[in-house]
Every structure is written in structure tokens, then in C-alpha cells.
Amino acid sequence: MNYSIKFYPEKRNGKTDNVPVRLSVTYPSNRMEYYTGKRCNVLQWDIKTSRMKKNQIAPDGSTSSNFNTDLDEIKVIIDSLFKIYNATNVNPTPDQLRNDLKTKLGKEIKKEPEKICFFDRFDQYIRDAPLSPGRKKHLKTTLNKVKSFNPGTTFNNLDVQYLTDFQNYLIDKCKLGKNTCISELRRLRAFYGYANKHGWTVHYPFKSFEIGAETFGDPVYITVEERDKLYNAIIEDETLARVRDIFVFQCLVGCRVGDLTRLKKSNIIDGCIEYIASKTRDDKTRVARIPLTEKARAILAKYDLPGGAILPFFSDQKYNEYIKQLFKLDSVKLTRIVTVADPKTRMNVQKPICDIASSHMARRVFVGGLHRKGIKNETIASMSGHVENSKAFSRYYNIDKEDQKEAMKAIE
């Protein structure tokens, strides 16, 4: 069994002095982290050798020679343990490897209380799993909802009945729509899959629990003509004028708002915006590349901001609130009635389009507008950042009667 050993100083909130030195052991499908009991200053550390530099004194007064000898002792023990694991054909869990190391070092093994273990492990999953920042943000929301529902949650008491009650809690108490509820449960399921893989638990309640599938109504978004009306509108309120610029620019490049706010002037290459979409970072890396239109360039020319930001962004919540206000302005008046699915009942309801406007609508304008113009899906996806064969892609446009009529003309 192949494995690698690494010692490193743990950086915490920018602190560089007297930080803990941790051990990381990576082996097939697993990684074990362990605090060595040693501390040092980051500047004393040699990254190439994974040891303290020569002729240094650690914060506890020990010399670098003695300090490194203690680390070498830990490495020797890890090597000996893996010889045993290989000889006995054992692939240890991270907890088993950690406990075996503690035993060899003569340290007491404390049994971690299960109710603490569950939430600590969830925190560890959010911290260590190779996920996008946006995904981790959503996972923190899921973790907080589980804590609010039952602070005494453990791996083993989270069973099918627990999941049923938690689902009802999300819908009845948290007032979440069915699709949002499904997303919360899927994130919890993903955590259990990770916990099983890393040997934190063998319990898996989702074997007998059906989460269900999301359902979506026809996508609703403003037309290209309405987008241009918004672009040309005279808006006296400075804040809403900036919101207009951001929203129209988003309509012209199709970014998710999380990607949009991270764009810098350095992302503009040869007249195009180039970036790696956040939701594809863990899949095969794919660069989204969008040629900038004349309108997009005109919007960017209005701003010269510090730090290289392309536009003056707001928080996600404020941005969505301002978009609704923007649509209702007398000079804009994007208030036509549209049919949408109620997020809780899934029944069709009629609402002014301004009431459902959000940053995500701009992405639909981009995808849906291009689709209506007959642009190939593969071309649109190359600019929108959707992965190949994305199930979500079709939710950004709908096939209406005019599309069908145009299609039939091809075989008349």
C-alpha cells in the first residue's frame, strides 16, 4: 500500500508564530491528520524537508535538532505500522491509524463522545473535502439546520425516522420549498457518503430513505428586448443604476453570481471574459470563454475600481433585493404577469415578473436568449460554464409553440 507522510505548520487566521505542527498521512482513499504536540514559528519551517530549519529554537525552548528527532520518531512509527498493515492486508481507517500511532507513542486514547463527533466530523468534511467555496457555504447552512433541529444528533440516531422528521421540519418550520428541502437532504447524504468512505461511521440511513427528485416549472426570464429596455433606461438612483449595469452585464456573459463577483480585469483576455466556473472545478477543468459585446464593453468602461474588480458588487441578498426594486421603476416597468410554480405546493400561480426577479434570472436571459436564436447547446454551454450533458442546462430555456412551428417548417 502506497502512502506519503508530511509534517506542516498549521496556519490559523493569519497567525504565524507558535503554531501547531501537524502530521498528514495520505494513503489509498484516505487521509489521517494528527497534532504532533510540537509548535514552531512559520518562518522557522523548511517546506522542502518538512522539518524545522537548522540552528533554530522552538517556542518551547527545544533545539531544532531535538525538535526534528521527535518528528523522525513519529515517521518511523508510521513506517512500521504500514509494514504491519501491508503484511496483514489491512487498509486502516484514519481513526485506526491515529489510535495505533497514539498507542505506539504511549499516549492515552480518549473515546470521542458521539454527539460531539457528528458535528465535528461535519465541520471537518466542510473544511477538508475538495469542494467549491459556494458548495461549502451551502453545507454550513445544512449543518446549522441539523443543529437547530436536534443538537443531540449522532451518527447512529440519525435514522429513517429522523430523516422523515427533519424533512417535515425543513418544510413546516423553516418554510423551505420542496426543491430546497431536497437540496438540503442531498447535502446531508453527501456528508454520510464521505463519512462512510473515511471510516467515521458504517451507518448509512439513506439506503432506506427516498429523497425524491426536484421538479421545475418552465424557466421565466426577461426577453432580449426587455434586457435592452433596461440597458437604455434613464435611472436617477445611483445605487439602482449600478445594479442595472451589473444585471445587464450578467445577462451578457451568463456567469453565476458567485463567479461574476470574482471576476477581475485580468479575466479579460483578447476581448473575452475567461474563467473557470465554480461548479466545474472538481470535474474536468473547463474554461468558460465569452466574447464581450459592445454593450458589455460600454458597461465596463464606466468603472475603474481598486483591486482590479470589474464592477461595484453588492452582497447576494442586497443584489437580489435591488433587482426587484429596479424592475419596478417607472422608467423600467418590467412588471408583466408570468406563470410560475409555487415552491411549496408546486401549483401554478401568476405573479409580476418583478417579484421573482433575481441574479439567476440574468443567467437564464443569457442561455434562453441564445437558445431562442438557434445557437447550438454545445456553444452556449462553452460560455455558460455548464458541464457536458448537464441535467440542469435544460432548466434555463423552454420550448414554446413558436419554436415548434419553426422546427416544422424544416420538414414542410
- Please answer whether residues 10 and 2 qualify as being in contact, where contact means their C-beta atoms are separated by less than 8 angstroms: no
Instruction: Give φ, ψ of 63 to 5 degrees.
Output: -75, 160
Report the C-alpha gap between 71 and 153 in whole angstroms. Answer: 37
The rounded radius of gyration (Å) of the Cα atoms in the chain is 27
The gap from C-alpha 304 to its chain's centroid, in whole angstroms, comes to: 29
Tens of pLDDT along 293-351? 999 999 999 999 988 999 999 988 899 999 999 999 999 999 999 888 776 666 778 99
What confidence tens digit (pLDDT) does each residue in 37-71 have?
A: 999 999 999 999 999 999 999 999 999 999 999 99
- The SS3 call for residue 49 is coil
pTM for this prediction: 0.53
Rounded CA separation 233/238 (Å)? 13
Tell which CATH architecture fits domain 224-409: Orthogonal Bundle (1.10)
**CA–CA dist 298, 303 (Å, integer):** 10
Mean pLDDT, rounded, for 233-243? 96
State the Cα–Cα distance between residues 49 and 67, nearest whole angstrom. 13
Q: 341: which residues sit within 8 A by CB, 6+ positions away?
A: 215, 216, 217, 347, 348, 349
Instruction: Answer yes or no: is pLDDT of 30 > 60.
Output: yes
Whether residue 386 has pLDDT greater than 50:
no
Range 114-208: architecture per CATH: Orthogonal Bundle (1.10)
pLDDT in tens, 86-116: 888 888 888 889 989 998 988 876 655 544 5
Give domain limits for the chain: 4-105, 114-208, 224-409
Cβ neighbours, 10 Å, residue 322: 20
Q: How far is CA 38 from the centre of its chain?
A: 33
Q: Is 67 helix (H, G, I), strand (E, B) or coil?
A: helix
